[in-house]
Amino acid sequence: MLPLGTTVIQGANGHGKSNLLEAIHMLAIAKSTKVTTDRELINNLSVMQLEQEKLSYSKIACVTEHQQGSENLEIHYRCQSSENHHGFTAQKFIRINGTPRRSSELVGIVNAVLFSVSDLDLIYGSPSIRRRYLDILLSQVDKKYLKSLQQYQKANTQRNHLLKLIRDRASSDSELEYWDELLAKNAVILTEKRKKAIETLEESSVPFHNSMASSSETLTMHYLSPADFSKDINIENFMHNLENSRKKDIAQGSTNIGPHRDDLLFKINNMEASKYASRGQSRTAILALKMAESDFLYHHRKTKPVLLLDDVMSELDQKRREQIVDHIKDHDQVIVTTAEPTNIPNSFTNDSNRLEIISGSIKII
C-alpha cells in the first residue's frame, strides 16, 4: 500500500520504476501516453507464453481509497496468437469492483499527473504528441469534449474516404456537405476548449516557472491552427475555411485544416523552445506545465491529483531540487522515482515512505 504523503522509490535503471508509475497513470486515464496500440504494452513473458499456449493474460490493478470508500480497478489484456497482426492481438477489458465497464467510466476515479523524461517530446516531438496531450487532459474532465473528439475523428475519416473517391471521379463534391457540417460543428467545440485550456495552463504555470527559471525568462504557450479564425471561432468561419481548402483536400485525399492538424507552441522569451531552448530550459518548462496540469485537474475535480514524478531530479541543480520539493509539499500524495537517492533533497526524504525496486519486485527500505 502506498500511503498519503510522499513516497520515494529507488532502484537501478531498467528494474521497473518507470513501469510502476506508468501503470498507476494508466489506471487514471485508461490508456498509455507512451504507445498508440495496446499490444505494445505486453511484456516479453506474456509474448513467450503466447508462443507455447496461443493465449495469455496481462493485468494492471489497484485498490484506490477516497472519501466515498474504496474501489477495485482493473485493466485486463487478453492476448491471442495471430498471423495477421505481427504475431498476436491484444484486447483490453475494464473492470471496476469486478463489473465490466467502459474506459470512460474508469477515467477520473484515480486522479494523477505523470512527469517523465519522455515528456520533453511535448517540446521536441511531433505535433501529434502535443495534440494527444491536450485530448487526454481535456477528455478527463469534459465529457462534451470527449464526445466531440470521437465525432470529429469519425467525420474526418469518412470525409477523407470521400475525398479520395471524388479525386478518382467515383463521387461528387456535393456529398461533402454533410461531413463538412459535422466536421465544422465539432471542430469549433474542440478548438474553443483547447484554446481556453492552453490559456489556463499558461497562467497557472507562471508561478512555478518564475521560481525555477531565471528571473529574465518567460514561458508562453500558443495555439497554432491552419484554419483562419482571425474573426471568430464559429461554424460559419470553419465552413468557409473548408471551402477554400477543398481543391487541395481533393488533390491530396485528406482534410488539411482542423483540430487534427493544429499544434501547441512553447516559447521561452518569445523564441520557439524547440529551436532555441536548452535542455534545462525545456525541462523546467515542462515541469511548469505539469504543475499547471495538476492545478487544472484540481480545479475541475476538487481533489488534488497524485503527483507521479519519474526521475525528475536527475538533471537539476540542488537549488532547483529544493524549489520543486517546496512546491509539491502541499500535495496529498507524491510518488518520486530515482536511480540516485542522493539527488533527492533531505527535506523530502526525511519524512518519506522509502521503497526499492529490484528486478520488478518492491521492498520497504
**165 shares a domain with 136:** yes
In a domain, 288, yes or no: no
- Grid cell, residue 182, equals 459535422
| pLDDT surpasses 90 at 81 | no
In a domain, 92, yes or no: yes
Residue 184 in contact with residue 239, Cβ under 8 Å? yes
44, 73, 106 — which closes off a domain? 106
| pLDDT surpasses 60 at 85 | no
In a domain, 296, yes or no: no
In a domain, 342, yes or no: yes
- pLDDT bracket for residue 86 (50, 70, 90): low
In a domain, 298, yes or no: no
| pLDDT surpasses 60 at 357 | yes
40-60: pLDDT as tens digits: 787 766 666 666 666 778 889
Integer Cα distance of 275 and 294 in angstroms:
27
Integer Cα distance of 298 and 301 in angstroms:
5
**200 shares a domain with 163:** yes
**268 shares a domain with 125:** yes
**260 shares a domain with 200:** yes
**235 shares a domain with 220:** yes
Summary mean pLDDT of the chain: 91
Integer Cα distance of 227 and 235 in angstroms:
12
101-111: pLDDT as tens digits: 999 899 889 99
| Mean pLDDT calculated for residue range 348-364 | 89
Domain around 172: 120-279
Residue 151 vs residue 331, higher pLDDT: 151
In a domain, 196, yes or no: yes
**189 shares a domain with 130:** yes
What's the total number of domains in the chain? Answer: 3
- Grid cell, residue 51, equals 508462443
In a domain, 270, yes or no: yes
**273 shares a domain with 351:** no
Among 20-24, 107-111, 174-178, 246-250, whose mean pLDDT is lowest? 107-111
Pick the closest to residue 329 from 355, 302, 309 (CA basis): 309
**275 shares a domain with 141:** yes
**128 shares a domain with 19:** no
Q: Provide the CATH number for the domain around residue 200.
A: 1.20.1050.90
Name the residue type at position 125.
G
In a domain, 185, yes or no: yes
Q: Provide the CATH number for the domain around residue 1.
A: 3.40.50.300
| pLDDT surpasses 80 at 197 | yes
**275 shares a domain with 129:** yes
275-297: pLDDT as tens digits: 999 988 999 999 999 999 999 99
Angle, CA 324 vertex, CA 314 and CA 28 arms, to 5°: 85
**229 shares a domain with 352:** no
208-267: pLDDT as tens digits: 999 998 778 999 999 999 887 666 889 999 999 999 999 999 999 999 999 999 999 999
Q: pLDDT over 90 for what percent of the chain? A: 68
**210 shares a domain with 194:** yes
Residue 185 in contact with residue 125, Cβ under 8 Å? no
